[in-house]
Amino acid sequence: MSSASNQKHTAILDAAYELFGSGGFYETKMSEVAEQAGIAKGTVYLYFKSKEDLFMAVTRRDCEGFLLQLQERLKASDTLASKLSIIAKHHLNYYYERKRHTKLFFRAPNNNPELVAYMTQFMEQYMQDVVKVLLEGGASEPELMAQSYIGMLDRLKMDILFDPSFTEEDAYKRADFAAGLFIRGAMIT
């Protein structure tokens, strides 16, 4: 049971990730999710109690993966510079891999307090992970620093999402640029 059950649970999440990600929350129909998952409409409701609930689950799985992977990768390095580089690469690489599922980030169900709360908490967690790195480097105002760094990365990811010709290579270059800029500043005048 638990295995079969899990299989279907996962199939639904995968289908929903695909459709929410490429089409957006409002544009995706539950019947499409069911079809994509290869099951009946009613079955989706055996695993998720509503469309919003399903969206939350998709988001949660994705965000948790993001944080887990980040922590995993950070372990592998030691210097501050390399850690900042890893953060940047992870951030950009993450979006690079999700080029085709951008709607997940931009087109969430509106006015869902639970989702807002989760995203807030996710952002906080992400920021704290960066803060920890910065503190080892003795940064002052580490929270603003962390926010700024994440912000830089977040904007740099945009081209990835919108420019189809963007390569993974390009993503890594951008990551290094961001790390450098953050550490040394623009060094102008």
* Contacting residues toward DNA, per CB under 7 A: 1, 4-5, 8, 28-31, 39-43, 45-46, 49-52
Task: Choose between 4 and 186: whose C-beta lies nearer to DNA.
Answer: 4
Cα gap 30→45, rounded to integer Å: 9
Dihedral sign for Cα 155, 159, 160, 162, please. positive
Cα gap 48→58, rounded to integer Å: 11
CA distances from 94 to 44, 99, 121, 141, 155 (A): 28, 9, 19, 27, 14
Number of residues that bind its own copies (CB under 8 A): 48
Binding-site string for its own copies from residue 83 to residue 102, where x marks contact by CB under 8 A and - marks none = --------------------
Distant-in-sequence contacts of 73-78, Cβ < 8 A, 24+ apart: 74/129, 74/133
Cα gap 176→121, rounded to integer Å: 27
Task: Choose between 44 and 88: whose C-beta lies nearer to its own copies.
Answer: 88
**Least distance between its own copies and beta carbon 10 (Å):** 25
Q: Which does 76 bind (CB under 5 to 8 A by kind): DNA, its own copies, none?
A: none
**Least distance between its own copies and beta carbon 62 (Å):** 18
Query: Nearest to residue 156, comparing CAs of 111, 90, 107?
Result: 90
- Residues 110-169 touching its own copies, rule: CB under 8 A, are 110-111, 120, 123, 134, 137-139, 141, 144-145, 147-156, 158-159, 162
User: Which bin fits 108, alpha (ψ -120 to 50), beta or left (φ > 0)?
Assistant: beta
Q: List residues binding its own copies (CB under 8 A).
A: 23-27, 79-81, 103, 106-108, 110-111, 120, 123, 134, 137-139, 141, 144-145, 147-156, 158-159, 162, 174, 177-178, 181-189
